[in-house]
Amino acid sequence: MIKRIMGTETEFGIATRNPEALDPVSTSLLLINHYPSLPSTRVLWDYEHENPLLDVRGFEVEGERERPGPEYNRLLNKVLANGGRLYVDGAHPEYSTPECTNSRDVVIYEKAGDRILGQCCEHAGRIKAQDPLVVYRNNTDGKGNSYGYHENYLVDRSVPFEMLMRALTPFFVTRQIYAGSGKVGAENRMPPLPFQISQRADFFETLVDLNTMVKRPIINTRDEPHADASKYRRLHVIVGDANMAECSTYLKVGSTAIVLTMIEEKWPLPEVELEDPVRAIKEVSRDVGLKSAIRLSNGRGYTAVEIQRLYLEAAYRFFEEHEADPVTRDVLKKWNEVLNRLQEDPMQLSREIDWVIKLELIRSYMEKKQCGWGDARLAMMDLQYHDLRPEKGLYAALEKGHYVDRITTDREITHAEQNPPTDTRAYFRGTCLKKFPKEVYATSWSSILFDVGNGTIKKVPLMEPLRGTESLTRSLLESADTVEDVLNRLSM
C-alpha cells in the first residue's frame, strides 16, 4: 500500500455591491495581491512540467498551454509558506492546499485557505472601502455558471484507469449525501425545485472526459501527475462540492481515499453498475428524503445510502485484514454513524453535514418568517452561507454560535496558514521559502528552483511527493546557512 497523497483546489466566487465595477479578472488579481503574509513576492510559478491537456486515454488534446511572462506570472501566482498556492485561474481566485497525507490535514489546510482569502478580502477592501469585496466558498452563481472544487489523489500508476472508473462511478454519484453543500433551486436546464443536495450535480453531463468547463464529466481523465509519471497518476476529481462543514470535507476526502486504497489492493468492491450515472447523480441530488432507489443495469434498485453502505462494508472487511492509521479508523467510524443517521432521518445531521445544516437553517427561517420557497431571502441565505467574512457569513455565524460540529481547532488552522504539513514534499517547499525567501526563484508542485547568483538557476526536482519531509530534510535545512549549502548537501 502506498501512502496516499492528497490535496484540493478551490475556486472562489467573488462579488461587490456594485456589479458594474466588477471585472472578475482584475478583482481576483487585486485580491490575491493583497495577501499580507507571503514569504516572498518574487517567486515564479514554474509551468515547465504542467500539461492539463494530456488525457489518460493516451492522447493530447489541442489547446494553449499557460506560459505567462515573469511579471504577469508573479501577479497570477503566490506560493504560500504552508506549501500551498494562491493564484488566479480564469476569472476566480483559487487556493490549492499543500500536499497532505490524510483527510484531517486536508480539512485544516482548506480552512487555512479560507482564512487566507478572508485576509485578501479585508486588505483589498481597504482600498475599496465604499464597495466591499465578498468571497464565497461555493460552486455556482445559481444562473448556470459553475466554478470548481477539485480533489487530487495520488494513485499507483499500475491500476488500470478503467478499473478506477468502474469502481468509483457509483461511489461518486452517491457520496454527495454526506458531501453535498446544498443548493436552493436548479439550473443548467434542469427542472425547477426548491432545494437540492449538491451544488454541482446539475452540471454533470457525461460520464468520462477531459473537460472541466463544459460538458463536465463525473470521471475526469486529466493525466498530469505532478510526480514521477511512471509510478503515479493523480486522480483529478471534479465531481465534488466545496464544503463549509468540516465533517463533510473530512468524510468526502477520507472515504474517497479509503475506496482508492481498496481499488489499488484489488479488494472486492460492490458490484453495482448504475444504469445511467449522469441521470442518477441528479436524481440523488434531488432526493432530500434519501428514500428513492437508483436503477442499476441489472434492473434492481438501491438507495444512495445503501450503495454507500456497500462501500463501507467492503472497507470494514478490508481493514479487518489491513492496518489502518488513526484518521482512517476515525473516518470509518464517522462514515458508519453518518450513514446510519442518513438512513433513519437525514435531518438529524444538522450539525455535521453541509446540505442538512443549510436546509435546516432555511426551513427554520421560513417557519419564523412564514415565507415560501419563492422568497428571495432564501437564495440570499444559500449564497451567504458560503460568505467567508466572519461577520457576514452564515456558516461562520453557525460556527461561532457552536451550532455546528468541528473536526479541527482554531489553533491548528492558524498554524497551518504559515506552516506546511511535515510528511510530504510540501515541507521542503514551504520551509525553503521561509528560510531562503530571496533565493527561491520559482516553484511548482514537482520542483523548486534556486537563484544562486551570477544569473545561475539551479533546479531541485521533487518528483517523489513522499520525500522532502520533515524527517528527511529538517536537519539538512536547519544546518544549512546558504542555498549553496542546501544544494551541496542534496547532491552528496
Partner 1 sequence: MIDLKGVKTLSKQEHKTDRKKEAGKKEEEGGANPKTAEKGKKIKEDLDKLMEKIDDVLEENAEEFVKNYVQKGGE
Catalytically active residues are 89
- Give CA–CA dist 167/164, Å, rounded: 5
* 63 lies in the binding site for partner 1 (CB under 8 A): no
Of the residues 44, 262, 398, 432, which one makes contact with partner 1 according to CB under 8 A: 398
In whole angstroms, the minimum distance from the beta carbon of 9 to partner 1 comes to: 9
CB 144 within 8 A of CB 162: no
* 269 lies in the binding site for partner 1 (CB under 8 A): no
Q: What does the per-residue mask of binding to partner 1 show for 126-165, with x meaning CB under 8 A?
A: --------------xxxx-xxxx-x---------------
- Give CA–CA dist 378/175, Å, rounded: 25
CB 417 within 8 A of CB 112: yes
CB 231 within 8 A of CB 214: no
Segment near partner 1 (CB under 8 A); pick from 65-73, 107-115, 316-324, 428-436: 316-324
In whole angstroms, the minimum distance from the beta carbon of 326 to partner 1 comes to: 12
Cell numbers given for 251: 468524510
Cell numbers given for 286: 434531488
In whole angstroms, the minimum distance from the beta carbon of 301 to partner 1 comes to: 5
In whole angstroms, the minimum distance from the beta carbon of 484 to partner 1 comes to: 41
Measured from the CB atom, the residue of 239 and 463 that comes closer to partner 1 is 239
C-alpha distances (whole Å) from 420 to each of 79, 346, 453, 470 are 12, 36, 27, 10
Q: In 10 A of CB 40, how many CB atoms?
A: 17
Query: Assign residue 51 a region: left if phi > 0, alpha if psi is -120 to 50, beta otherwise?
Result: beta
Single-letter residue type at 262 = M
Measured from the CB atom, the residue of 394 and 462 that comes closer to partner 1 is 394
Q: What does the per-residue mask of binding to partner 1 show for 24-53, with x meaning CB under 8 A?
A: x-----------------------------
Q: Is 58 exposed, middle or buried (0-12, 13-18, 19+ CB in 10 A)?
A: exposed
In whole angstroms, the minimum distance from the beta carbon of 392 to partner 1 comes to: 5
In whole angstroms, the minimum distance from the beta carbon of 24 to partner 1 comes to: 6
* 326 lies in the binding site for partner 1 (CB under 8 A): no
Residues in CB range of 71: below 8 A, 6 or more apart: none
Measured from the CB atom, the residue of 3 and 215 that comes closer to partner 1 is 215
* 381 lies in the binding site for partner 1 (CB under 8 A): yes
Site size for partner 1 (CB under 8 A) = 67
CB 311 within 8 A of CB 237: no
Measured from the CB atom, the residue of 47 and 403 that comes closer to partner 1 is 403
- Give CA–CA dist 139/241, Å, rounded: 7
Nearest Cα residue to 129 out of 17, 14, 13: 17
* 119 lies in the binding site for partner 1 (CB under 8 A): no
In whole angstroms, the minimum distance from the beta carbon of 490 to partner 1 comes to: 36
What does residue 414 show for φ and ψ, rounded to 5 degrees?
Answer: -60, -45
Segment near partner 1 (CB under 8 A); pick from 67-75, 110-118, 257-265, 377-385: 377-385
* 59 lies in the binding site for partner 1 (CB under 8 A): no
- Within residues 276-315, the interface with partner 1 by CB under 8 A covers 289, 291, 293, 300-303, 306, 309, 312-313
Q: At what angle do helices 246-264 and 326-344 cross, to 10 degrees?
A: 110
CB 356 within 8 A of CB 349: yes
Q: What does the per-residue mask of binding to partner 1 show for 64-103, with x meaning CB under 8 A?
A: -------------------------xxxx-----------
Q: At what angle do helices 161-174 and 304-321 cross, to 10 degrees?
A: 130
Q: How wide is the angle at C-alpha 47 spanned by C-alphas 42 and 50, nearest 5°?
A: 150
Site residues for partner 1 per CB under 8 A: 11, 13-15, 17, 19, 24, 89-92, 140-143, 145-148, 150, 212-214, 216, 238, 289, 291, 293, 300-303, 306, 309, 312-313, 316, 319-320, 324, 329, 332, 336, 340, 343, 345, 350, 360-361, 364-365, 368-369, 376-377, 379-381, 383-384, 391-392, 394, 397-398, 401, 403
